[in-house]
Chain A
Amino acid sequence: MSFLKIRDLSVILRGTNHRLLRGVSLDVGATEVMGLVGESGAGKSMIGKAVLGILPRSAKIVSGSIELEGVDLLTLPPRQRRHMIGQKAALIPQDPLTALNPARRIGPQISDRLVDILGWVRARARARAEEILHDVHIPQPERVLRSYPHELSGGMRQRVLIASAFAAEPRLIVADEPTTALDVTVQKQILKLIFEMQARHGTALLFVTHDLGVVSKICQRLTVLYGGLVMEEAEVGAFFDTPTHPYSRALLAATPRHTDPTADLTPVPEAVIAEARRAVAEADQRWHA
């Protein structure tokens, strides 16, 4: 049974009837790693934000359901919804520079979550924060707990954020392009760390990325988005052997390969984009009708 079940989710730009997500359906199993790929603006981050209840003010959910363990979040009153999301889900954000509060020390920023979500006392939350920092291979965790974010490097901050996401043992983690803002040399370590933690805790993971190479290595399934519309959803093995959707095939052809780094990349052909656009237009027509 899937842990996260999204059905027919549509999000519009507030004040218009322009859809940012066009009836997205998606399942993530209880310990599954689901890759969410697409070009910029395809709506991949939007899905993660909708699940976590942190859509920007300009976006509004107009239809569909988001179920966590069979409970539809969108039908819950706001307070209960926040509580439920807090207990079951967590976010590994994109930019470690803005994801930690610059005016507060690391320690309370991690332990606050535990106090908020699990109702722990401060001392216990603090001990857990130190333990979880140790788990993400941060040397001298007690020193880091006392530091301000600006005293840590970007990679270190991302480790802190990963630790913070896993600290309260959530069942689902949304990783929103967690390595995009990092130095290339650090990216690999951070990816390894995320999947090490995921495997150890058996957490469901919704991994938002535009890097098909990463998806091929770590995800079990993936969903390809274009213009807020699901193009294809497949097992990773099958997808990379025989992608069924023309857009997916084109996307794969446009991805650099480690086996032959000098090979020319094929841009996504006009015809394929035109077809994807047509699919989007058709979906809109059905929706507006």
Chain B
Amino acid sequence: MLDGRSLVKRTAGLRLWLSAGWLTALVIGAVLAPWIAPQDPLMQDLFTSRLPPFWMDGAEPGYWLGTDSLGRDVLSRILYGGRVALIVALIAGTATALIGATLGLIAGYFRGWADLVISRLVDIWMAFPPVLFAILLIAVMGTGLTSVVIAIIVIDWTRFARVVRAEAMAQGAMDYVASAQVSGRGRMSTLLTEILPNVLSTITVLLTLEMGIAVIVEAILSFVNLSVSTDDPTWGGMIAEGRLSIHQAWWVLVFPLIALFLTVLSFSQLGEGLKDRFDPVLH
């Protein structure tokens, strides 16, 4: 029988598998880039500049997605660019989640002074335009992977803090928390064993969303040339360069854009899919 519920379940499963599939492929491609990339991503060759992708006239074998105006292979550059994107997603996403969720749990469960300080800090923080803030930070810290990661943590911890605080507050008012307290449990232990498991699914969803956002922020920063060194291929950098030759060689712009789009979409869908599948409360 195909009722509404099973349909929802089925599409949820499909979306989990599609997003996990794309991300797995991306991870494999990025890790194995030195071995599987068809060309050296940095090698310039003006004789092979602006070659079109494989299905078009004038394509050359070995340059599957064409080349840019300096003759560098687009597919190879996407694979190497994926390394930067994934490293940033993983490190910045996880660190942001850890810091933001910890502050949110403390504010939402302990309330009082801790909440007052953290909430006001969040309010002030959110008044800054995030991308300008990031650019400003990097201008001060200098470019490089570490700076990008720090910038993302600094601008985005508030997202976790706010949502997790609200969740922790709602859970803290539940009777099971009172029951834990009656049985002599300390506040910290209650927070970790009773509240945290109920907030975990929210944190997971936010974490995957954050990974997607980290990829976007990294792309924006590399678009304006403020990410890693200009020698290393990045998706944002490729998009910036492709923009200049959009009429002569659209593929230089479009393929990294698709990679970026699919990656960000997959991260957000992965979170939702994981939640649907593993959250005991939803079953």
B-contacting residues of A (Cβ < 8 Å)?
A: 49, 52-54, 57, 79, 82-83, 85-87, 89-91, 93-95, 98-104, 109, 112-113, 116-117, 148, 150, 161, 164, 168
Which of B39-47, B121-129, B180-188 is the contact stretch? B180-188
Separation in Å of the B119 CB from the closest CB of chain A?
A: 16
Cβ of B144 under 8 Å from chain A: no
> Contacts A148-B280, A150-B280, A150-B281 known; A100 to B181 CB distance under 8 Å?
no
> Contacts A91-B182, A116-B183 known; A99 to B175 CB distance under 8 Å?
yes
Of chain A, the residue at the smallest CB distance from B199 is A103
Residues of chain A contacted by B283 (CB below 8 angstroms): 148, 150
Cβ of B60 under 8 Å from chain A: no
Cβ of B15 under 8 Å from chain A: no
Residues of chain B contacted by A102 (CB below 8 angstroms): 198, 280-281
Separation in Å of the A78 CB from the closest CB of chain B?
A: 10
Cβ of B159 under 8 Å from chain A: no
Cβ of B229 under 8 Å from chain A: no
Separation in Å of the B205 CB from the closest CB of chain A?
A: 15
Enumerate 30 A-B pairs (CB-CB under 8 Å) in ascending A order: A52-B182, A53-B181, A54-B178, A54-B181, A79-B186, A82-B181, A82-B186, A83-B184, A85-B184, A91-B178, A93-B178, A93-B179, A95-B175, A98-B174, A98-B175, A98-B176, A99-B174, A99-B175, A100-B176, A101-B174, A103-B197, A103-B200, A104-B194, A104-B197, A116-B183, A117-B183, A117-B184, A148-B280, A150-B283, A168-B183
A-contacting residues of B (Cβ < 8 Å)?
A: 111, 174-176, 178-186, 193-194, 197-198, 200-201, 280-281, 283
Residues of chain B contacted by A86 (CB below 8 angstroms): 182-185
Residues of chain B contacted by A85 (CB below 8 angstroms): 182, 184
Determine the distance from Cα of A57 to Cα of B186 in the docked complex, in whole angstroms: 16
A112 touching B182 by the CB < 8 A rule? no
Separation in Å of the A271 CB from the closest CB of chain B?
A: 38
B281 touching A82 by the CB < 8 A rule? no
Determine the distance from Cα of A98 to Cα of B180 in the docked complex, in whole angstroms: 12
Determine the distance from Cα of A112 to Cα of B194 in the docked complex, in whole angstroms: 11
Of chain A, the residue at the smallest CB distance from B194 is A101
Q: How many contacts A-B (CB < 8 Å)?
A: 79
Determine the distance from Cα of A100 to Cα of B197 in the docked complex, in whole angstroms: 13
> Contacts A101-B194, A102-B280 known; A113 to B183 CB distance under 8 Å?
yes
> Contacts A53-B182, A113-B183 known; A93 to B197 CB distance under 8 Å?
no
Of chain A, the residue at the smallest CB distance from B282 is A150
Residues of chain B contacted by A109 (CB below 8 angstroms): 176
Residues of chain A contacted by B180 (CB below 8 angstroms): 112
Residues of chain B contacted by A91 (CB below 8 angstroms): 178-179, 182
Determine the distance from Cα of A168 to Cα of B184 in the docked complex, in whole angstroms: 12
Separation in Å of the A150 CB from the closest CB of chain B?
A: 6
Separation in Å of the B201 CB from the closest CB of chain A?
A: 8
Separation in Å of the B277 CB from the closest CB of chain A?
A: 15
B281 touching A112 by the CB < 8 A rule? no
Separation in Å of the A149 CB from the closest CB of chain B?
A: 9
B175 touching A93 by the CB < 8 A rule? yes
Residues of chain A contacted by B201 (CB below 8 angstroms): 103
> Contacts A53-B182, A90-B182, A116-B185 known; A101 to B176 CB distance under 8 Å?
yes
Of chain A, the residue at the smallest CB distance from B280 is A148
Determine the distance from Cα of A117 to Cα of B57 in the docked complex, in whole angstroms: 78
Determine the distance from Cα of A85 to Cα of B175 in the docked complex, in whole angstroms: 17
A99 touching B179 by the CB < 8 A rule? yes
Determine the distance from Cα of A83 to Cα of B176 in the docked complex, in whole angstroms: 18
Determine the distance from Cα of A284 to Cα of B111 in the docked complex, in whole angstroms: 31
> Contacts A99-B176, A150-B281, A150-B283 known; A89 to B182 CB distance under 8 Å?
yes
Determine the distance from Cα of A32 to Cα of B194 in the docked complex, in whole angstroms: 33
Of chain A, the residue at the smallest CB distance from B183 is A113
Q: A90-B183, A99-B179, A102-B281 are in contact. List 14 more A-B contacts (CB 8 A).
A: A54-B178, A82-B185, A83-B184, A86-B184, A91-B178, A94-B175, A98-B176, A101-B194, A103-B200, A104-B197, A113-B183, A116-B183, A116-B185, A117-B183
Residues of chain A contacted by B193 (CB below 8 angstroms): 104, 112
Determine the distance from Cα of A116 to Cα of B186 in the docked complex, in whole angstroms: 10
Determine the distance from Cα of A104 to Cα of B174 in the docked complex, in whole angstroms: 14
A112 touching B111 by the CB < 8 A rule? no
Determine the distance from Cα of A126 to Cα of B15 in the docked complex, in whole angstroms: 39
Separation in Å of the A43 CB from the closest CB of chain B?
A: 17
Determine the distance from Cα of A218 to Cα of B194 in the docked complex, in whole angstroms: 34
Residues of chain B contacted by A52 (CB below 8 angstroms): 178, 182
Separation in Å of the A132 CB from the closest CB of chain B?
A: 14
B184 touching A103 by the CB < 8 A rule? no
Residues of chain A contacted by B280 (CB below 8 angstroms): 102-103, 148, 150
